Amino acid sequence: MEIKAEVKSIKKLENYFFLVPDYQREYVWKPDDQVEQFIIDIDNEFDPNAKEQKSYFIGSIIIVENKGKYDVIDGQQRLTTIILSLCAFRDLLKPLSLGTIEKKYLQTIEELLSDFDISTNESKLRLELQYEESKDFLNKLIQSLTYEDELTSSIQKMQAAYFRLKTHFETYLLTGMQGFINYVQYFLTKIELVLIESENLSSALKIFETINQRGAGLNAMDLVKNLLFSKANETDFQKIKDTWKSISMNLQNCHEDSSPLRFLRYFVMSRYHDGVIREDDIYKWFISKEGKEATNYETDPLAFAKELNKISKRYSDLVIATERVREGGNYPRVTNIGLVNKYKSRQHLILLLALDITFGDGEIDYLAEQIESFFFYSNVLGIQAKNNEGLFAAWARKIRQAKSHADLEEMIESNIILT
Q: What pLDDT, in 10s, does the model give residues 331-384?
A: 889 988 888 776 567 889 999 999 999 999 999 999 999 998 888 777 665 555
Under 8 Å CB-to-CB from 329, ≥6 apart: which residues?
320, 321, 335
Average pLDDT over residues 185-211: 84
Q: How confident is the model at residue 215 (pLDDT cuts 50, 70, 90)?
A: very low
351 and 401 fall within a common domain: yes
Residue 152 inside a domain? The answer is yes
Exposure string of 95-108, with b = 16+ CB inside 10 Å and e = fewer, is eeeeeeebeebbeb
Look at residue 372 and tell me if it is in a domain.
yes
Q: What is the mean pLDDT of residues 319-333?
A: 82
pLDDT for residue 344? 66
Same domain, 134 and 277: no
Q: Which of 172, 199, 226 is the last residue of a domain?
A: 199
- Read off the pLDDT band of 386 (50, 70, 90): low
Structure confidence at residue 1 (pLDDT): 60
Position 328 scores a pLDDT of 63
88: in domain: yes
| Mean pLDDT value across residues 124-133 | 90
Count: domains in the chain: 2
Q: Report the range of poorest mean pLDDT among 199-208, 370-379, 406-415.
A: 199-208
CA pair distance 334, 349, nearest whole angstrom? 9
What's the pLDDT tens digit per position in 48-73?
Answer: 888 888 899 998 899 999 888 999 98
Instruction: Please report whether residue 204 resides in a domain.
Output: no
Residue 242 domain-assigned (yes or no): yes
180 and 55 share one domain: yes
Cβ neighbour number for residue 112 with a 10 Å cutoff: 21
| 118 against 170, higher pLDDT | 170
198 confidence band (pLDDT: 50, 70, 90): confident
**Final residue of a structural domain among 199, 230, 257:** 199
Residues 316 and 379 in one domain: yes
At residue 70, what are phi and psi to the nearest 5 degrees?
Answer: -130, 120
Q: Domain limits at 383?
A: 218-413
With beta carbons less than 8 A apart as the criterion, state whether 356 and 366 touch: no
* Same domain, residue pair 163 and 64: yes
Which stretches within 190-300 are classed as H helix? 201-212, 216-231, 237-253, 261-271, 282-286, 289-295
205 within domain boundaries: no
Q: Residue 209 domain-assigned?
A: no
| Residue 221 · residue 87 · CB < 8 Å | no
Sign of the CA dihedral with 366 first, then 370, 373, and 374 last? negative
The Cα 364–Cα 358 span in angstroms is 11
Q: Are residues 136 and 44 in the same domain?
A: yes
83 & 164 share domain: yes
Q: Which helix (H) or strand (E) holds 195?
A: strand 191-198
Do 182 and 280 lie in one domain? The reply is no
Question: 393-403 pLDDT, tens per residue?
Answer: 999 999 999 99
Q: Where are the alpha helices (DSSP H) in 31-75?
A: 34-45
Same domain? For 244 and 355 the reply is: yes
Pairing of the two strands 122-125 and 3-9:
unpaired
Kindly state whether residues 224 and 194 are assigned to the same domain. no
Judge whether 418 lies within some domain.
no
What local confidence, expressed as pLDDT, does residue 216 receive? 37
> Do 20 and 140 lie in a common domain?
yes
Measured from the Cβ of residue 29, the count of other Cβ atoms closer than 10 Å reads 20
Averaged pLDDT for residues 130-152: 91
Whether 142 shows a pLDDT value over 50: the answer reads yes
Same domain, 249 and 184: no
Show which of 199, 230, 263 is a domain's final residue. Answer: 199
